[in-house]
Chains A and B, each alone.
Chain A
Amino acid sequence: DTGVSQNPRHKITKRGQNVTFRCDPISEHNRLYWYRQTLGQGPEFLTYFQNEAQLEKSRLLSDRFSAERPKGSFSTLEIQRTEQGDSAMYLCASTLLGGLDTEAFFGQGTRLTVV
């Protein structure tokens, strides 16, 4: 499968626990994005990477959130001390900077439920 892969697909956690999600982008794509989507809303930008460098972080990304992209390949998004308001779909997308086509390809998402 050459698409964007996200794991796990679903995660249920108790409030206060830490969770980590993984995204494997399309192999030749050098830009990777994280978005959050709540029910009935459009995806909201969280952060993005150019290779291994994190270039921008949204104000939505509180100190409890951290993202990494070691070696410029897969990325992880960690949420510490989860709160019920963190319940959402977390989407990852990748694209190739410099190409004429700037389409971002999305993964299936990780649905987080904090109970």
Chain B
Amino acid sequence: GENVEQHPSTLSVQEGDSAVIKCTYSDSASNYFPWYKQELGKGPQLIIDIRSNVGEKKDQRIAVTLNKTAKHFSLHITETQPEDSAVYFCAAKETSYDKVIFGPGTSLSVIP
């Protein structure tokens, strides 16, 4: 089955700097890659996703890149703000199985 790895496990950045989180997946059939943000005491919330037919997607300060050959994908947050502090999860999904497999998470702290 699919296995998703994620690093770093913790990340601290100064407000205004960029943050990058990297993930790898094992199943080459996976074709949907969502990123979730989870704040303390809340369920995960989708912040951006990318499908295998594109290599990059951007939404304001957030961008994701996908390298299908290497089975790598990354989340980039620019101009970080204290409210970006949370745990971020990458995930992968293969359509025929239709379940999302999560990475272990990255705890991001943005220092004012």
Chain A residues with CB under 8 Å of chain B are 4, 6, 31, 33, 40-45, 48, 56, 91, 93, 97, 102-109
Contacts and interface: CB of A to CB of B under 8 A. Distances in A.
Contacts of A45: 99-101
A91 B99 CA distance: 14
A40 B105 contact: yes
Given A42-B91, A102-B95, 18 more contacts: A33-B100, A42-B4, A42-B6, A42-B102, A42-B103, A43-B44, A45-B99, A56-B99, A91-B44, A97-B98, A102-B93, A103-B46, A103-B49, A106-B44, A106-B45, A108-B41, A108-B43, A109-B42
Contacts of A43: 44, 89, 102
Contacts of B41: 108
Interface in B43-63: 43-46, 49
A107 B43 contact: yes
A31 B105 contact: no
A33 B105 contact: no
Nearest to A89: B43
Contacts of B101: 45
25 contacts: A31-B98, A40-B105, A41-B104, A41-B105, A42-B4, A42-B6, A42-B103, A42-B104, A43-B44, A44-B102, A48-B98, A56-B99, A97-B98, A102-B32, A102-B95, A102-B98, A103-B34, A103-B46, A104-B100, A106-B43, A106-B45, A107-B43, A108-B41, A108-B42, A109-B42
A110 to B, nearest CB: 10
